Amino acid sequence: MNSNIWLLTFADAISIATTLILASLGAILTERSGVINLGVEGMLLMGAVTGFLVADSSGSLWLALFVAVLVGVALASVHAALTVGLRANQIVSGLAMVIFATGLSQFIGKPIEGDPLPVLIRPIDFGALSDTPFFGPVVFGHDLFTYLTWVLVAAASFYMHRTRPGLLLRATGDAPATVDAQGGSVARIRWVHTVVGGALMTFAGAWYMFARSAAWNQSATTNGIGWIALALVVFASWRPIRAIGGAVLFGFSLQVPFTLQAEQIRILPPTILAMFPYLITLAVLVALSTPRARRLLGAPKMLGQPFVRDER
Amino acid sequence: MIVLGYRVRMEQRLSTPRSLLVMVPVFSVFFALVVGGIFLAATGHPPIGTYLKLVDNGYTSFYGITDTLGLATPLICTGLAAAFAFRMNLYSIGQEGQLYLGMIGGAWAGIALADSLPTLVAVPVVLLFGAFAGAMWVAVPALLRARLGTSEIVSTLLLNYVALNLLNYFIFGSTGFFRDPTTSFPQGRPVAESARLSPISFFTDKVTNTYPTFFIAVILAVVLFWLMRLSNYGYETAVYADSPNTARYAGMNSAWLQSSVLLISGALAGVGGAMYVVGPAGKVDPGLLQVGLGYAGIVVAALARYNFIAVIVAAVLFAGLRTGGNALQISSDPVPIAIAVVLQGAVLLFALGGELFRRNKVTISRVQAAAT
């Protein structure tokens, strides 16, 4: 069997991982503040479709990405307003967001269905470096945003674990009453991180559109990647750095069916192979819920709980 | 007098005024229509005209109503499934996959068992097998939730994608049991005639899309409503929903409660899939995939505030949006069907916001500077 193809699959997995990393980083920031946003899948779709539409009419990739981020801010603000402001059930609000955003993306995306992409995100040309064996495709075969994403993860990790606002963020997820007693604003911290998280999610969707998709194809464009990103948050135990490894693993499982098909290796029918990313995600979730793993994980203690001062 | 600003005060209500129980849903629908109207206008469709057409095609014309009731049938089931789990704070979002499995399980019974049975027996058998398949599809998440505490949200959701691919495999990927052997065209093998019900004509000679299964779904909702209200089991789940600790101290078996609620929820969604076999489809059919009835069931349940009777009303309302939306899509000024999904999502978002007013008395007062 050709070993080169598996190397390329691995390189592809690292590339796909960019979406997963960005989306789960958004979810990590949101959940660390104590808010769970299940709307990831919908946010990805909205980022993808608005990015496409803006690029289609303006021809500018940067403007498209910028608008996608704004859309994320707007959608996440709705979630924050409902859950932080109005103390609505976070689970139901997130699901409502998935349904609303999925419907909206299909509604506004109807005219561009199947159209070719107006702009593309291409890998950076490193010249001779890209031709080196192994390191060529794996390290030097990606686009600007993939590298920026790695930097962003490092920055987010530093922010969360080494700065005072990061400490406040973690405290808000674990013990909002303490933050409140110290004079911090639980609502503001939750609001800000939900919105920033949402912006990362739609950006992830727009990146996926321009870097990894062939065309806008309704909800099949992302095909459940948002949900995998949510599972990835658990896998990463709410720590940004760990999301990278998980994202590459999940990215690999997403990519393998395509590789097998391209190589015409028929172990299993393609429809059965397509189940694997989800089954692997589920298996990982199960492994992580054993009591031993749970102790090591450290989910935000007040995740999903609205904070109400007077009731304490 | 100088107004310095406004101050919003919230007081928790002890009981909700009856008027609000009606007002919140009504205003939610109204505001959702406004939001949808903005998107319609922005894409060059007249909002009012579009809505009128939607109402006519979804609720007021003969075929509109009968199509709506037909679509509402499985939607009631998924709505009940979601309500049953959500009211116990078990956020299973696997109704979509359980619905597919219900269709597969029902079709299996319809093909393999129903041949020699009379309709009166065959149809219940198909429905039961659908329920069983739906319950089995949630068995793993239920077990994980009860034993290990694995979040049922993500596990049930991931299985939706597995179910989708399983269905694709049965219809497109294989030439096995569920595939029609008489044609090379990929379609499901028809179930025995005795396992099918004919549509209700409502005293006319027209062929409608409403099947007697609609009444089975309604009866199911009513039975659930009373059963959960009167039975010991209903009481225990209610206690557990309010306070898991209280339930535990009272000696209730939380693992049993959690897993049984999830299994019953799965069975309810599965019945919906089997009703699709008994009614319009008569086989494993990818038509069920296009509609997203599982996810819509969650919206229906939330809008009905997990009340089983209200689920019927919400399901008919939402099915009407969908059938109305279908008609819009094929009219002279085609509006994408997705507008129906936008409206569903928006209704739920507004209903969630409205919860605040239901739970709290909100007063806005002016903050004034002291008179000098």
pLDDT tens-digit readout, B194-240: 888 888 888 888 888 889 999 999 999 999 999 999 999 999 999 99
* Chain A contact set for B151 (CB, 8 A): 234, 285, 289
With beta carbons less than 8 A apart as the criterion, state whether B178 and B191 touch.
Answer: no
CB contact under 8 A, A100 and B342: yes
Report, as an integer, the average pLDDT of B76-95.
94
Domain architecture of chain B: domains with CATH = 46-334 (1.10.3470)
Say which of A89, A108, A289 has its CB closest to residue B352. A89
Say which of B43, B148, B302 has its CB closest to residue A92. B302
* Chain B contact set for A220 (CB, 8 A): none
pLDDT tens-digit readout, B238-297: 999 988 889 989 989 989 999 999 999 999 999 999 999 998 888 888 877 777 788 889
CB atoms within 10 A of CB B92: 28
**Class level of CATH domain A3-123+136-311:** mainly alpha
Distance CA B257, CA B236 (A): 8
**Angle subtended at Cα A35 by Cα A31 and Cα A37, rounded to the nearest 5 degrees:** 80
pLDDT tens-digit readout, A281-309: 888 888 887 777 766 677 788 887 888 77
With beta carbons less than 8 A apart as the criterion, state whether A190 and A1 touch.
Answer: no
Gap from B197 CA to chain A (nearest CA, Å): 32
Chain B residue nearest residue A280, CA to CA = B158
Report, as an integer, the average pLDDT of B34-59.
90
CB contact under 8 A, A107 and B342: yes
Q: What is the ipTM of this complex?
A: 0.86
CB contact under 8 A, A290 and B148: yes
Chain A residue nearest residue B143, CA to CA = A286
Say which of B86, B295, B352 has its CB closest to residue A99. B295
Measured CA to CA in angstroms, residue A127 lies from A124, A136, A137, A140, B246 at distances of 9, 10, 12, 9, 67
Domain map (residue ranges) of chain A? 3-123+136-311
Sign of the alpha-carbon torsion through A243, A244, A247, A249: negative
CB atoms within 10 A of CB A3: 7
Phi, psi of B11 (to 5 degrees): -120, 135
B1 has pLDDT over 60: no
* Chain B contact set for A270 (CB, 8 A): 173
pLDDT classification of A312: cutoffs 50, 70, 90:
very low
* Chain B contact set for A279 (CB, 8 A): 158, 162
The confidence score (pLDDT) of residue B68 equals 93
CB contact under 8 A, A275 and B166: yes
State chain B's mean pLDDT as an integer.
88
Gap from A124 CA to chain B (nearest CA, Å): 34
